[in-house]
A = this chain, B = another copy of it.
Amino acid sequence: MEKHDTRPTIQDVAQIAGVSTATVSRTLQKPELVREKTRIAVQDAVRKTGYRINSAAQNLRRNRAGSVLVIVPDIGNTFFSEILLGIEQIASEAGYTILIGDASKDGSRTEGLMDFLRNGKADGALLLNGYLPDQVISSLPTSDGGNIPVISVCEAVPEANIAHVGIDNKAAAKAAVDHLITQGHQKIAHLSGPESNILTQLRIKGYETAMREAGLGDHISILPGDFSIQSGIDVVAQLFDKPARPTALFCANDEMAMGAAFGLTQAGLKVPDDLSLMGFDDIQFARTFIPPISTIHQPRSEIGKLAMHKLLKILNGEAITQEHSNLEFSLIQRQSVRKIQT
């Protein structure tokens, strides 16, 4: 059993292969530069010694970290895991490692996590939490191309000059509400996310647009939530307060829709008989919830992959920041919406 500090180095390989360390390095990094015979000798020596590159040395020499930081608001939220998987796949193909930082919901840890960039522990960052103060941005190191190697995912960072990957949230919210309207609903309320959140604002806009275009402006009713299951449970009481109780509730995410269904059940009401529910995101549990939740599907894996691809381009000095990409969402009809005869 070899000791930690006894790992074979490039020196050992060079000695055994009878070449210089430069040749070993070349064989490993750019084999096409090395004569076949030499290459084979080196590869044999690598095998014989069990040599593995020392990443710290390589990174120091290459002036990079070999890793990218992914900041999520909450690791415990299933919405992010598929995005992470997409990111990780592309990153590892490119030889990058992923550092996952949980920024806690209030975003207060974001700044601390950004030290990873400043310390050179990460070469770039993917922000899934829509939070990045201007002063933090300006303190960040830039990539070779002179760009800030940071990309916002799903939640755009308002005003920041960074690239973004997500979906058209306003259009998606409108599609959700349009669906409810198509099913005959008119009194449609909206359970929104936290006020300051950019997604909240876009989804509210989509809701309002759909309602107005259908001549339902008078029925617009926005109830404040915070994306948590609990705020879905809590909204049920408010629903009863209304003089004209809505027949449908469009929730800004699936968790709140599930919470609302739970609260309704506790109050002796049923979904969709007593209230139709639309969610947003299509998280894993929405499909087998009772009843299964109709929702907006986001292509999470694709979003993660595209975001990482873009970041790689910036790191290679190929791309410019500031570009926004929206991927296709889709409407998933399940059993939480009932058709109303009109």
Which residues of A are interface residues toward B (Cβ below 8 A)?
1-5, 7, 52-57, 59-60, 63, 65, 75-78, 81-82, 84-85, 88, 97-100, 102, 115-116, 118-121, 138, 141-144, 146, 229, 233, 258-259, 261-262, 265, 284-285, 288-290
Contacts and interface: CB of A to CB of B under 8 A. Distances in A.
A261 to B, nearest CB: 7
19 contacts: A1-B138, A2-B141, A2-B142, A3-B142, A4-B63, A4-B141, A7-B141, A53-B119, A55-B119, A56-B56, A56-B60, A57-B60, A76-B85, A78-B78, A84-B102, A85-B102, A97-B99, A262-B290, A289-B290
Contacts of A5: 63
A121 B141 contact: no
Contacts of A261: 290
The 6 A-B pairs of least Cβ separation, nearest first, read A76-B81, A56-B60, A56-B59, A262-B288, A75-B81, A4-B141
A66 to B, nearest CB: 8
Nearest to A104: B85
Given A4-B144, A54-B60, A77-B81, 6 more contacts: A3-B142, A53-B119, A75-B84, A76-B78, A258-B288, A285-B285
Nearest to A287: B229
Contacts of A63: 4-5
B60 A65 contact: no
A57 B65 CA distance: 10
A52 B118 contact: yes
Contact of A288 (B1, B119, B120, B233): B233
Contact of A55 (B85, B100, B121): B121
Contacts of A75: 81, 84-85
Contacts of A144: 4
Contacts of A81: 75-77
A142 B52 contact: no
A126 B98 CA distance: 16
B290 A290 contact: yes
A84 B121 CA distance: 20
A76 B65 contact: no
A102 B81 CA distance: 10
Contacts of A265: 290
Contacts of A85: 75-76, 102
Contacts of A55: 65, 119-121
Nearest to A63: B5
A2 B88 CA distance: 29
Among A121, A288, A289, which residue has the most Cβ atoms of chain B within 10 A?
Answer: A288
A216 to B, nearest CB: 30
Nearest to A230: B288
Contact of A99 (B98, B118, B138): B98
Contacts of A100: 98, 100
